[in-house]
Amino acid sequence: MSFYLASKEIWRNKGRFLLFSLVIALITVLVLFIAALAQGLGLANKEYIEKLNAELIVFQEKVELSTTTSRVGLDKLNDLRRLKGVADVGAIGFSSATLVLPNGQKSLDISLIGAQSDKPGMPPVLSGNPIRSNRGYQAVIDGSIASRNDISIGDEITVKTIVGSEDKFYRLKVVGITDGQQYFYQPSVFIPFETWDKIRPQATEGQSQYNLVANVIAVKLTNPQDIQIMAKYIVNQVGDVEVVDRKTAYEATPGYSAQQSTLNTQQGFTLLIGILVIGGFFQIQTLQKVPQIGVLKAIGTQNNIIAFTVIMQIILVTIIGVALGSIGTFLLSLGLPNGIPILLTGKTAIITIITLLMIGPIGGLVSVQLALRVEPLTALGM
Amino acid sequence: MEPILRTESVTKIYDTGSLTVKAVDQVSLEIYPGEFVALVGPSGSGKTTMLAMLAGLLNMTQGSIRIDGHELGMLNEKEKTYFRREKIGFIFQANNLIPYLTALENVELMLRLNSTNSQYCRDEAKKLLGRLGLSDRLHNLPKQLSGGQQQRVAIARALIHDPSLVLADEPTAALDTERAYQVVQFFSELVHEQKRAGIMVTHDLRMTQHVDRVIQMVDGKIFKIIDDRTEIAAMSTGGRI
């Protein structure tokens, strides 16, 4: 009975309900877009660390987990490797560089990451070969660089770094392509650690030291469950270091938490606005229908039928709105330029859509309450 | 013959704390199957309050209302709701029909509420609307019908589920005289034919020409009961109260 009344009213007032579904669709587009942006920006900042094939990351002490400020000497590698419970370790160095593209194409800012061959920190390749030595001018590149710039295995790429005030150009041979490995909002190029130490940007020429220094050391554990215990254990055994898991490390990235909380707040406010808009619409509609609801009650319609009719209308309108909005967001995402970092994984999309579907019933609760309070006596004008 | 409706000393007192108003005062009446009664009186005489109590929409302060063997005072709110949809037919003054349902669907609504919307009932609804001259208006929405047509649909809705008692609150108030007569005539014919008990609240005495009895209320009390045809006919030429 409720479905009958709800569907008849929607069908006979298609324009009004469709208009309202479009409002919900716009809210859906906004919420999904913000969610995708939050996820895309977050990923651009943390992808490499998140996918790192190690459980713990060792930083220099008192640098607030800043990867670029941290300096960990390679002598610590041996100390770490000897510890019980440590399966493997790898030095990692981070710097920014520019990929110079041929044929006048705009150069691309990249994260130039130095990692040791076959050690934690060096990502697995999807095609081609991994870097086999700790020297040499070989590179494994991020899949997005390869696809966007039509670079294949065996090609040579030119990387520009700044030493002092001078531009230095280095040619690297692409030996492998890895999946998405962005860091600091830039796609990554991986090179042997010692090569990285030679070509990384430096304030003055010839700064490379005899004792190599990494930014961080990635630690793979024998038992990955022991993260907390091992982190404390490493700090106790190896001095002057701070040891954290991957999540703590990327959350400490400058701006990451602020950015994510800003976007989440925006998303929350948009959902709140959605609840208020839906609540307002159905409340006005219920107020307009008070005499009609009075008649329905007077002729013997139970309260639960009235309530379910209102709820079903809210649910139907919300489902149509969210479906239209989701399709709209998908179409919008197809037309967006590559540079806009939007990403919506299945899990986030489902959570966001379920949240959006819930705002209808939540917003409509007041109107249900209002409909239930209508006295059948109103049918008699009393 | 047993009356369909019997009220005994029905009283309704509104107590606002500082003010006590007796809206209906010791009203006792009986209405039999096939009897069509007009409840007339000036504004504030207690007609609509009486109607609301008869429908179980308003609780009486004291007295007894018995409809088709059911004592209204003994029913809880949920039972009253079921009782209304099974035993009572309603025609209201305005906003009578559900605006997003067609004429046929408005009539069928009572059957759906009573879970008896079989093809037979649907045919009955069509037949009844046809009887009321609305065969070509079955699929029209209320806004596509004239005021008189809307009230005829309301009459069909009030009678389709075989109620014992049909209550009409100023059913002709929004109609011009010609249509008003027509609507009351239809209502009267069906009440008589189907052996229902019909009560029509009106303050337009011209509408009493088709009723069997006129109960005149003043200040919440029954002032006068007129059942003489000649007297009713004379009254119906008297215009509004």
Within 8 A of B94 by CB-CB distance, chain A residues are 291, 381
The Cα–Cα gap between A170 and A321 comes to 53
Per the confidence metrics, is the pTM higher than 0.90? Answer: no
Give CA–CA dist A169/A186, Å, rounded. 19
Taking 3-state DSSP, the helix, strand and coil percentages for chain B, each rounded to the nearest 5, stand at 40, 25, 35
Q: What residue of A is the nearest CA neighbor of B57?
A: A377
| Percent over 90 (pLDDT), chain A | 25
Please indicate whether, in this complex, the C-beta atoms of B113 and A291 are within 8 angstroms of each other: no
Instruction: Find the residue in A nearest to B112 (Cα).
Output: A1
Chain B residue with minimal CA distance to A299? B85
pLDDT band at A55 (very low <50, low <70, confident <90, very high): very high
In a domain, B185, yes or no: yes
In a domain, B71, yes or no: no
pLDDT at A286 over 80: yes
The answer to whether the CB of A53 falls within 8 A of the CB of A61 is no
Higher pLDDT: A5 or B233? It is: A5
The most confident of the ranges A138-142, A148-152, A280-284, B175-179 is A138-142
For residue B180, is it within any domain? yes
Q: Where are the beta strands (DSSP E) in chain A?
A: 56-60, 72-73, 86-100, 108-115, 127-128, 138-142, 156-163, 166-178, 188-192, 213-214, 216-221, 241-245
The answer to the question of residue B17 being in a domain is no
First to last CA, chain A: 27
Count contacts between A and B (CB, < 8 Å).
76
Minimal-distance CA residue of chain A relative to B90: A299
Q: What is the pLDDT at residue B233?
A: 76
pLDDT band at A379 (very low <50, low <70, confident <90, very high): low
Q: How confident is the model at residue A176 (pLDDT cuts 50, 70, 90)?
A: very high
Q: Which residues of B touch A294 (CB under 8 A)?
A: 95
pLDDT, tens only, A8-24: 999 998 998 899 899 88
Task: Determine the angle formed by the axes of helices A14-50 and A256-288, rounding to 10 degrees.
Answer: 170
pLDDT reading at A302 higher than 80: yes
In a domain, B128, yes or no: yes
ipTM of the complex: 0.84
A66-80 confidence digits (pLDDT tens): 888 899 888 888 888
Q: Is residue B38 part of a domain?
A: yes
Query: Which pair of structure tokens corresponds to residue B191?
Result: 């009440």
The more confidently predicted of residues A185 and A178 is A178
* Predicted local confidence at residue A207, as pLDDT: 53
pLDDT of residue A41: 84
Contact A299 B157 (CB under 8 A): yes
CA B118, distance to chain mean position in Å, is: 26
Å from B19 to nearest chain A CA? Answer: 19
Residues of chain B with C-beta less than 8 angstroms from the C-beta of A291: 94-95
Of residues B32 and B18, the one with the higher pLDDT is B32
CA-based nearest distance B219→chain A, Å: 17
Model pLDDT for residues B20-74, shown as the tens digit of each residue: 888 888 989 999 998 999 998 888 888 889 988 998 888 889 999 999 888 988 8
Least confidently predicted of A144-148, A375-379, B157-161: A375-379
* CATH number, residue B94: 3.40.50.300
**Number of other CB atoms surrounding residue B62 within 10 Å:** 12
Residue of B nearest to A305 (CA): B113
What pLDDT is attached to residue A140? 94
The answer, yes or no, to whether residue A306 has pLDDT greater than 60, is: yes
Q: Which of B91, B98, B83, B209 is nearest to B156 (CA)?
A: B91
Note whether residue B65 is domain-resident. Answer: no
- Spatial separation of the C-alpha atoms in residues A233 and B137, rounded to whole Å: 86
Round the average pLDDT of chain A to a whole number and report it. Answer: 86
Supply the DSSP symbol for B14: E
pLDDT digits (tens, 9 = 90+) for A355-378: 888 888 888 888 888 888 888 877
Q: Which residues of A touch B84 (CB under 8 A)?
A: 298-300
Residue B18 falls inside a structural domain: no
Spacing of C-alpha B207 from chain mean position: 14
Contact A300 B100 (CB under 8 A): no
CA angle A157, A159, A162 (to 5 degrees): 170
Instruction: For residue A294, give every residue at least 6 positions away whose Cβ sits within 8 Å of its Cβ, in sequence order, or none.
Output: A374, A375, A376, A377, A378, A379, B95
What DSSP string runs through A308-365?
Answer: HHHHHHHHHHHHHHHHHHHHHHHHHHHHS-TTS-----HHHHHHHHHHHHHHHHHHHH
Angle at which helix A303-335 crosses helix A256-288, to 10 degrees, equals: 140
Q: What DSSP letter does each residue of A142-157 carry, written as one string?
A: EHHHHHHHT--TT-EE
Chain A residues near any Cβ of chain B (below 8 Å): 1, 4-5, 8-9, 11-13, 291-292, 294-302, 376-377, 379-382
Is the pLDDT score of B110 beyond 90? no
Distance of CA B38 to the CA centre of its chain: 9
Could you give the number of structural domains in chain B? Answer: 1
Q: Which residues of B touch A1 (CB under 8 A)?
A: 112-113
Kindly indicate the confidence band of residue A58, based on its pLDDT and cuts at 50, 70 and 90: very high
Mean pLDDT of A193-216: 77
When pLDDT is averaged across residues A27-31 and rounded to a whole number, the result is 87
Structural domain harbouring B172: 34-58+86-235
Assess whether pLDDT exceeds 80 at residue A210.
no
Closest CA–CA distance from residue B230 to any residue of chain A (Å) = 32
Q: Residue B240: pLDDT above 80? A: no
Please tell me the least confidently modeled range out of A119-128, A172-181, A202-211, A224-233.
A202-211
Beta strands in chain B (DSSP E): 5-15, 20-31, 35-40, 62-67, 70-71, 88-91, 165-169, 197-202, 213-218, 221-226
Would the CB atoms of B100 and A13 count as touching at under 8 Å? yes
Residue from A200, A183, A199 nearest A67 by CA: A183
For residue A147, what pLDDT is reported? 83
Closest CA to A238 of A86, A125, A374, A47: A86
Residue the block writes with tokens 């067609």: B102
Q: List CB contacts (< 8 A) between A381 and chain B.
A: 48, 93-94, 169
A286 to chain B, minimum CA–CA distance in Å? 14
- C-alpha distances (whole Å) from A270 to each of A33, A130, A308, A369, B74 are 11, 45, 27, 24, 52
User: CA B204, CA B240: separation in Å to the nearest integer?
Assistant: 4
Q: Are B26 and B20 in contact (CB under 8 A)?
A: no
- Calculate how close chain A gets to B95, using CA atoms only, in Å: 6
Give the model confidence (pLDDT) of A82-96 as tens digits.
899 999 999 999 999
